[in-house]
Amino acid sequence: MAEVEGIAFLMQPTTDVIAKVEEISYCPLDSSASQDECEAAALTATSGNVVGSLQVVDKKNLPSGCSMRQGDRTVYFNVNTHGEKSDCFTSICQLNPSKMPGVVKVKEVSNCPSGLELDQEECIFAGLTAGGYLLRDVLQVQHRSDVPSGCFVREDDNNLYFNTNPNPNVAPLTQYASICQLSSKMPNVVKLDGVSHCLFDSMLTQEECIGAGLAAGGILIGDKLVLQNSPEVPSGCFIRKGDNGIYFNINPSGEEALSHTSICKFKSDVPGVLQARKASICPLGSEYTREECIFAGMTAGGTLVDFNILEDDWNDRPSGCFVEEGGEKTTFFNTNTNGYRNDDFVSICKDEWPCPV
């Protein structure tokens, strides 16, 4: 069957991550340690360097939840849910992997692909989830034109930064890795074998390929999209089966390859598809090619087997593109030009042909 992929969340740690975070009023994403967990979390975050017993308070002038006063390193738990950030207190957060967003590091981009951006608060926790560090327990906020926009980590020290400049004037830099979030904003995508490129406006851009490829279960080799210029692999976005890496072929004259799976936008609205024609063959001029049949078949409600149509030379089925009327609604392509009408199957034809009825 056609595999319309959901969202794959990456890089989630398997155990809680305890973090000290300054300049926040509370720990978001349900990451605040509970009152019972607070003292133990503070001990973990400070390697045991705390003073006295837990102080439970109800105040608006310090962060909600678990925190530590910087001067004397006393641990507090503020039950007031409307607390404020304070220069004197460091929040103690406990990041539960099951509640953290899926994040991915992407190198050699000037910003996260559309739909994968993080705001400053999200950057702190997504960055920690991705293995980054807070320099002096604070997210380093900058406005620069020579570093990636938004949330990123510097590779040499793994510290987290946030660039408020939405349009940095830089080429992609290898010493930085953007921290991006996979989200429900990503479009549905379909994995297709046996195509040289994505038809009917279903081609992805390079930027879209990163998020769509991750959503389809691919990985970024070296944390980046691998670009190729080859006539021997599919054009556009694809996953190579050997390493499951996400690639983008800029050559517009690519060809299908059994070892590569194209990633396309899911199209269920290919124009001009006659979905219910009982015939041995489509009228002259209304036939779909084998590649077109994959997309037209999906519009007609057909499904794929292992990301492809079933192709053969049958003498008891319609010629060209057709869909099983019952069962799994599998899409087929018959290379036999002397087709045979079979009411178990529906021919898929173009409605723009010279002599319509």
Query: Are 299 and 342 in a shared domain?
Result: yes
- CB-facing half-sphere around the CA of 299: CA atoms within 13 A: 23
> Of all helices (H) and strands (E), which one includes residue 99?
none
Task: Assess whether 341 and 285 both reside in one domain.
Answer: yes
Q: How far apart are CA 52 and CA 33, in angstroms?
A: 18
- Domain boundary among the residues 69, 95, 121 is at 95
Residue at which a domain ends, from 150, 181, 212: 181
For the whole prediction, is pTM greater than 0.75?
no
My answer on whether 21 and 87 are in the same domain is yes
User: What does the buried/exposed string (b/e) look like for 249-281 if buried means 16 or more CB atoms within 10 Å of the residue's CB?
Assistant: bebeebebbeebbbbbbbbeebeebbbebebeb
* In a domain? residue 215: yes
Digit-coded pLDDT (tens) for 4-33: 232 233 334 445 678 888 888 888 767 888
In a domain, 4, yes or no: no
Domains held by the chain: number:
4
pLDDT per residue as tens digits for the range 178-203: 998 875 445 577 888 889 999 888 89
Instruction: Note the pLDDT tens digit of each residue in 310-339.
Output: 999 999 999 999 999 888 899 999 999 998
CA dist 62 and 92 (Å) reads 12
pLDDT digits (tens, 9 = 90+) for 338-351: 989 998 999 999 87
DSSP-assigned states of every residue in 218-259: -B-BTTBPEEE--TTS-SEEEEETTT-BEEEE--TT----TT
Based on the fold, state whether residues 296 and 257 are members of the same structural domain.
no
Residue with tokens 């007609």: 300
SS3 299: helix
The residue range of the domain holding 81 is: 17-95
Q: Is residue 319 part of a domain?
A: yes
CA-based torsion, 153, 159, 165, 168: positive or negative:
negative
Does some domain include residue 51? yes
- Average pLDDT for residues 151-172, to the nearest whole number? 87
353, pLDDT greater than 60: no
